[in-house]
Amino acid sequence: MIDIVEEGPAYVGAREALLDLCFGEARFAKTSERLREGRLPVFAFVALDDTGKLVGTVRLWSVADRNGFQSLLLGPLAVAPDCRGLKVGDRLMRHALNQAAVHGHGSVILVGDLPYYSRFGFSAGLLDKVMLPGPVEYHRFLGTEFETGSLSRLDGLMSGTGASDPTLAVARAEDSFFFSKAA
């Protein structure tokens, strides 16, 4: 049985290990990471198996356009390789999107594969006026909305908003330096 629970401090190490396993260190060089680094997520959930082992993670981050209109950025979503095919990712996605809607957020955006994310209501071509702080394959820039029109009012460069975490900022700054130096 899989339980979806709020991520707490006890899960940080296991979450980071899972993200390293699924995405490697290159995850710190992704454009979406520029919107997450140094900040705390609005929502963070983990999937635990019946032994209490962390087998999945998803987070949602507050972002805003140049006019201050907000959305949530989803990611990363990761599932342990030995749990793929068990619908862990589906359950994490549905839980995260449900919480976003219940708490009054108008939309969620992400960079991902449309064939996977369309089942959760995500579409391409809704964010033509929106830019991210780095390279992105715009056909993979997807959105879904809970409030009609919330995506169409987004315009310009997205930036991260919300609570910052000074200890996280230091760690991510070191990671970013590593990748910019190696590039």
Give the domain CATH number at 98.
Answer: 3.40.630.30
Mean pLDDT confidence for 5-23? 96
Are residues 2 and 55 in contact, defined by beta-carbon separation less than 8 angstroms? yes
Question: Which amino acid is it at 43?
Answer: F
Q: Which of 92-96, 151-155, 169-173 has the lowest mean pLDDT?
A: 169-173
Across the chain, mean pLDDT equals 89
Range of the domain at 53: 3-182
**Number of domains, the chain:** 1
CA atoms within 13 A on the CB side of 105: 24
Q: Which of 116-120, 132-136, 164-168 has the highest mean pLDDT?
A: 116-120
CA distances from 47 to 18, 30, 182 (A): 11, 24, 34
In this prediction the pTM is: 0.87
